[in-house]
Amino acid sequence: MQPAPAVDIRVQTWTELQEALFENSWQEGIARFRSNYVFRGVPRVSHALETSLQTGGFVAKERHLLASFRKYAARNAVQGDVLWNWLSLAKHHGLPTRVLDWTYSPYVAMHFVTHDAKHFDEDGAIWCVDYRKTNELLPKALRRQLEENDVNIFTIEMIENVAASLAEFDRLSKDDFVLFFEPPSLDERIVNQFALFSLPSNPEMLLESLLKRLEKMYRRVIVPAALKWEIRDKLDQANVTERVLFPGLDGLSAWLKRYFTTRKT
- Model pLDDT for residues 188-204, shown as the tens digit of each residue: 888 989 999 999 999 99
Angle between helices 228-237 and 14-21 (to 10 degrees): 70
- What is the per-residue pLDDT across 62-115, written as a single tens digit (0 to 9) for each? 999 999 999 999 777 777 789 999 999 999 999 999 999 999 999 999 999 999
Q: Could you give the number of structural domains in the chain?
A: 1
**Residue 265, in any domain of the structure:** no
In this predicted structure, the answer to whether residue 10 has a pLDDT above a threshold of 50 is yes
Distance from C-alpha of 154 to C-alpha of 149, rounded to nearest angstrom: 9
Rounded Cα distance, 212 and 240, in Å: 31
- Counting residues of the chain whose pLDDT is more than 90, the rounded percentage is 84
Q: Which domain holds residue 212?
A: 8-259
CB 172 within 8 A of CB 162: yes
pTM: 0.93
Question: How confident is the model over 18-47, as pLDDT tens digits?
Answer: 999 999 899 999 999 999 999 999 999 999
Any domain includes 1: no
Structure confidence at residue 3 (pLDDT): 42
**Mean pLDDT estimate for the chain:** 93
Residue 264 belongs to some domain of the structure: no
What span, in angstroms and rounded, lies between the C-alpha atoms of 62 and 180? 19
Please say if the pLDDT value at position 185 is more than 90. Answer: no
In a domain, 3, yes or no: no
Dmax (CA) of the chain: 56
CA–CA separation, 129 and 93 (whole Å): 25
| Residue 2 belongs to some domain of the structure | no
Number of other residues whose CB lies within 10 A of the CB of residue 63: 12
pLDDT at 2 over 50: no
